[in-house]
Amino acid sequence: MGLLQSIRSDIQAAKERDPAATSTLEVIFAYPGFHARQLHRLAHTLHTRGLRLPARLISHLGRALTGIEIHPCAQIGERFFIDHGMGVVIGETTIIGDNCHLYQGVTLGGTSTKRAKRHPTLGEGVVVGAGAKIIGAVNIGDDAKIGAGSVVVTNVPPNATVIGVPGHIVAYADPGNETILKLPDPEWDVIQRLENRVAELEQRLVELESREQTASAPVEDE
């Protein structure tokens, strides 16, 4: 895909995925995620040609202008969209497939100090919710969804939905018939039982207090 066609696909992705995007000009001039992506194109090109300092300076400029930090070495596919974007961090060895969508505050980070693959790999069509953290050289399968605020430190299979800290799978999507298979969630079940028990105890307490007030009420003389 040529450069202009690739840029057009980024604009189209923003218009398709953000209902607030009303025109092409609005995306071009007022979307920091789009700006960060185009600056990363330049920084990545310079980095691959060995011009690492200029690449880092452009990356730093992009961070100052947009609040989005993308290392020049990160590999990003087509139709990439960052919604709002403030606080997004994409590490050096990150690989992002086509049609991925990140919300604000997402971190694609690493834990190792070795010069090796230490950041996540996202397959195609991955959606990462606001504030989610994907840490380490983990693989996120195609069309997976990472819930807002989740912390993912293990591999995620395709079509899975992950939530929580640490992240755990709660559902699988079936692309064939567009259904979602929800999996048992032991933690949620425990919380629900506790909430039900608390509500039951509160009701009993109300009944006991009502009986005590009735028993202690003075009896009027006839």
Whole-angstrom Cα distance, residue 66 to residue 184? Answer: 40
d(CA 72, CA 74): 6
Q: Which domain holds residue 210?
A: 185-216
Please indicate, yes or no, whether residues 12 and 73 belong to a single structural domain of this protein: yes
pLDDT in tens, 106-135: 999 998 788 889 999 999 999 999 999 999
Q: Is residue 47 part of a domain?
A: yes
> What is the Cβ-side half-sphere exposure of residue 123, based on CA atoms within 13 angstroms?
15
Kindly state whether residue 144 falls inside one of the protein's structural domains. Answer: yes
- In the predicted model, what is the mean pLDDT of the chain? 90
Shared domain for 168 and 194, answered yes or no, is: no
- pTM for the model stands at 0.78
User: pLDDT by residue (tens digit) across 17-40?
Assistant: 999 998 999 999 999 999 999 999
109 found inside a domain: yes
How many structural domains does the chain have? 2
**Are residues 50 and 117 located together in one domain of the fold?**
yes
Same domain membership, residue 114 and residue 154: yes
Same domain, 199 and 172: no
- Together in a domain, 94 and 18: yes
Domain contains 72? yes
